[in-house]
Amino acid sequence: MCLAVPARIVELEDDRAAVDAMGNRWKCRTTLTPGVQLGDIVLIHAGFAIATIEEVEAQKTWQLIAEFDAFQKEQEKGSEVD
Amino acid sequence: MLNRIMKAQRLMDAACLRLGRPINVMEVCGTHTVSIFRNGIRPTLPEGLKLLSGPGCPVCVTDQGFIDVVLELAEREDCIIATYGDMVRVPGKSGSLETKHEADVRVVLSSEDAMTLAERHPDKTVVFVAVGFETTTPATAVAVGEAAKRDLKNFCVLSGHKLVIPAMRALLSDKNNQIDAFLCPGHVSVIIGSDAYIPIVEEFGRPCVVAGFEPMQVIEGIAEICRQVANDAPEVVSIYEGVVSREGNKTAQALMDTYFEPYDGFWRGLGRIPGGTLRLKEAYEQFDAMRRFGIEEIPAEEPQGCRCGEVLCGLAQPMECGMFETRCTPDTPVGPCMVSSEGACAAWYKYGRRRRRNG
């Protein structure tokens, strides 16, 4: 539950932002990270950005999420065979 | 990458050799538990290194007495229960939110969604069942602040928010504890900062290493712990640079301090932990569901035979519980560690099964 997801800020007005990660777009608040700017990559948890992070770290998490997703699908396929 | 893995293996072996007994590393965070399983990290560790899943899944550490309060409120016709999805299936004394068909229960993704519900339903009181560690609490704090500003009278919070450091302290204060070191939660640390673990190292002499969730980060985090164990030099080290700072998110910390105060609340399996749970400060009591409805949380007995409490303290592994995989499965969970996908029992059930079957 305490996993935060990195996403890039693609729209920003006051503390309301639209963010994008791996082609998924959603809304979040930036109340907890004052000073963020358009284009920054933030970690998002429960609808709020909690930190600004480096792109290289974001890439690692995005890759991990993609791997989890692939693993999940493989497991589901596996259980069907079982 | 292979070099890094081999270096990590060498450090782990050296630590096992020096200690001459198994090293018990507790991963505090449920997301680490899941990452360790999903990435097949467990079988690659030396035999002398044992990973214990700690009390880092917010749903798992929520006392059944708290769930009973939620269920009691759900029975009221004038209330809408808004909560994060994982809470819906946790069994209390009489069923779960999922089985309370007459209740108005809404799954929300953020505290703001809960406030929006309150604005849309002025004839009902929206009770936001807020659980989670420091990663989640600031979002609740923002909601309370905004509800106060907007004078939103039909919104309140049932706080089950928990603090990580008091739990670590409580675990180490138990004389039966078998914890040699902590792999500290990555995203809780974003908020509290890695310096927050210094008192644990100073007081108990246990390594505290903050790591991310990517498999190499987890392996290197465990290796750093082993390096410290081998050299008998416990310290706080963050290998999650670029994400976790020493001081954490000051804005979020200030918001938590403004609206919440710690008290000695109940944790499942760990009992009453000094300063381990957060409630709203008196100045915001109109938003505190407990005070508003005049209810009290009565700690509940664990379901008979359920060993979630011991699992959460690292004293038992899920499969040592007699109900694991028989009476208690993800479809028919008895204890909370089987309900949440981040619970140790659910993770063992989902990812440990194939391995056990094969060998």
Q: Tell me, what CATH number does B258's domain have?
A: 3.40.50.11740
**Residue B160's beta-bridge partner residues?**
B131
In a domain, B307, yes or no: no
Asked if residue B113 and residue B73 are part of one domain, the reply reads yes
pLDDT-above-70 percentage for chain B: 98
Q: The CATH number of the domain where B185 resides is what?
A: 3.40.50.11750
Closest approach of B21 to chain A, Cα-based (Å): 32
**Count of beta carbons in the 10 Å neighbourhood of residue A68:** 15
Asked if residue B144 and residue B213 are part of one domain, the reply reads no
Asked if residue B259 and residue B149 are part of one domain, the reply reads yes
Asked if residue B158 and residue B64 are part of one domain, the reply reads yes
**B156 pLDDT exceeds 70?**
yes
Q: B214 contacts in A (CB within 8 Å)? A: 60-61, 63-64
Q: Give the ranges where chain B is alpha helix by DSSP (H).
A: 2-19, 30-38, 58-61, 64-74, 111-120, 137-150, 164-173, 186-192, 198-204, 215-231, 250-259, 289-293, 308-312, 336-339, 344-358
In a domain, B99, yes or no: yes
Asked if residue B132 and residue B209 are part of one domain, the reply reads no
Structure tokens at B134: 């420091």
d(CA B153, CA B91) in angstroms, rounded, equals: 30
pLDDT for res A82: 44
pLDDT for res B356: 53
Instruction: Tell me if B181 sits within 8 A of B229, measured CB to CB.
Output: yes
Structure tokens at B103: 């209740």
pLDDT for res B340: 82
B135 at the A interface (CB within 8 A)?
yes
Q: The CATH number of the domain where A52 resides is what?
A: 2.30.30.140
Q: B243 contacts in A (CB within 8 Å)? A: 43, 51, 53-54, 57
Over residues B307-327, the mean pLDDT reads 89
Asked if residue B254 and residue B158 are part of one domain, the reply reads yes
**B277 pLDDT exceeds 90?**
yes
Q: Which residue has the tokens 């007699």?
A: B322
- The residue with greater pLDDT, B10 or A75, is B10
Highest-confidence range of B186-190, B278-282, B311-315, by mean pLDDT?
Answer: B278-282
**Measuring CA to CA, how many Å separate A31 from each of B148, B172, B252?**
16, 35, 9
Structure tokens at B104: 């108005």
Instruction: Tell me if B178 sits within 8 A of B25, measured CB to CB.
Output: no
- The residue with greater pLDDT, B20 or B358, is B20
pLDDT tens for A6-54 read 999 999 999 999 999 989 999 999 999 999 999 999 999 999 999 999 9
Lowest mean pLDDT among A63-72, B54-63, B76-85, B249-258: A63-72
**Domains in chain B, number:** 2
pLDDT for res A45: 93
pLDDT tens for B3-28 read 888 888 888 888 888 888 889 999 98
Over residues B112-140, the mean pLDDT reads 96
Asked if residue B186 and residue B42 are part of one domain, the reply reads yes
Tell me B268's DSSP state: T
Q: A3 contacts in B (CB within 8 Å)? A: 31, 187, 213
Domain of A77, in residue numbers? 5-81
Structure tokens at B115: 């406030």
Q: What is the ipTM for the molecules in this complex?
A: 0.87
**Domains in chain A, number:** 1
Cα atoms in the 13 Å half-sphere on the side-chain side of A5: 19
Over residues B160-171, the mean pLDDT reads 96
Look up the pTM and report it. 0.90
**B151 pLDDT exceeds 80?**
yes
Domain of B63, in residue numbers? 59-162+248-293
Spacing of C-alpha A32 from chain mean position: 16
pLDDT tens for B213-267 read 888 889 999 999 999 998 999 999 999 988 999 999 999 999 999 999 999 999 9
Asked if residue B144 and residue B63 are part of one domain, the reply reads yes
Average pLDDT, chain B: 90
One-letter identity of residue B172: L
Tell me B302's DSSP state: P
Query: B86 falls in which pLDDT band (50, 70, 90)?
Result: confident
In a domain, B93, yes or no: yes
pLDDT for res B55: 87
In a domain, B350, yes or no: no
Instruction: Tell me if A54 sits within 8 A of A41, measured CB to CB.
Output: yes
**B134 pLDDT exceeds 70?**
yes
**B182 pLDDT exceeds 50?**
yes
pLDDT for res B11: 85
Asked if residue B215 and residue B82 are part of one domain, the reply reads no
Closest approach of A25 to chain B, Cα-based (Å): 15
Asked if residue B265 and residue B130 are part of one domain, the reply reads yes
pLDDT for res B358: 42
Asked if residue B145 and residue B69 are part of one domain, the reply reads yes
User: In 3D, which of B241, B243, B211 has the Cα closest to residue B224?
Assistant: B211
Over residues B155-173, the mean pLDDT reads 96
Q: A45 contacts in B (CB within 8 Å)? A: 135-136, 139, 187
Closest approach of B35 to chain A, Cα-based (Å): 9
Highest-confidence range of A20-24, B61-65, B104-108, by mean pLDDT?
Answer: B104-108
